C-alpha cells in the first residue's frame, strides 16, 4: 500500500492540513520559516509517532476525498473539511505529538533524504 506515491504525498497531506484550517496553534507552525526546522534532530521515537499519525491522516484524507464526491453545497463541504480536520488533529495527538511537532517532523522528512528513507521504512512496517 505504501508505494513511492505515498512518500510523495507527505507534502500534499501537510498542505491539506493547512488548507483545511487547523486551529491557530497548528497554523503557527506554518508561520515559522520552513528553514527553521531544517537540520533539527528527529528522534526515532518521534519519527515513528509521525509515521503512525501519517498513516491515519492518509486514511482520513482518502475518506474525505470520497465523501466530497457527494457534496453539493459549500456548507456541506466546509462541514466535511472541519470534521476531517478534527480527525487528523486527533490522529496526531493520539500518536503522541502536537500539530506543530508533527508538521516540523514532516517538513524535515521532506528535506532530508536519509530521514525520508527511515520514514518510508517505518510506513512499510506499519502496514
Cell digits of residue 102: 508533527
**CB burial of residue 119 (10 Å; 0-12, 13-18, 19+):** buried
Q: pTM for the full model?
A: 0.71
Q: Would you kindly state where each structural domain of the chain is located, as residue ranges?
A: 4-18+43-126
* Unique residue bearing C-alpha cell 486551529: 23
pLDDT at site 39: 60
Grid cell 497531506 in the structure block, residue: 13
Evaluate if residue 27 carries a pLDDT over 90: no
Report which of residues 5 and 46 the model is more confident about: 46
22-26, 75-79, 81-85: the lowest-pLDDT one? 22-26
C-alpha distances (whole Å) from 116 to each of 18, 74, 110, 119 are: 21, 36, 7, 5
Amino acid at each position: 500500500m505504501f508505494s513511492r506515491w505515498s512518500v510523495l504525498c507527505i507534502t500534499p497531506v501537510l498542505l491539506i492540513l493547512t488548507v483545511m484550517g487547523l486551529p491557530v496553534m497548528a497554523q503557527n507552525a506554518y508561520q515559522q520559516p520552513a528553514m527553521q526546522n531544517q537540520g533539527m534532530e528527529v528522534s526515532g521515537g518521534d519519527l515513528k509517532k509521525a509515521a503512525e499519525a501519517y498513516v491515519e491522516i492518509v486514511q482520513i484524507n482518502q475518506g474525505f476525498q470520497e465523501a466530497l464526491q457527494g457534496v453539493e453545497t459549500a456548507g456541506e463541504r466546509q462541514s466535511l473539511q472541519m470534521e476531517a480536520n478534527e480527525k487528523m488533529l486527533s490522529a496526531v495527538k493520539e500518536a503522541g505529538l502536537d500539530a506543530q511537532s508533527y508538521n516540523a517532523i514532516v517538513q524535515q522528512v521532506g528535506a532530508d533524504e536519509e530521514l525520508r528513507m527511515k520514514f518510508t521504512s517505518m510506513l512499510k512496517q506499519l502496514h
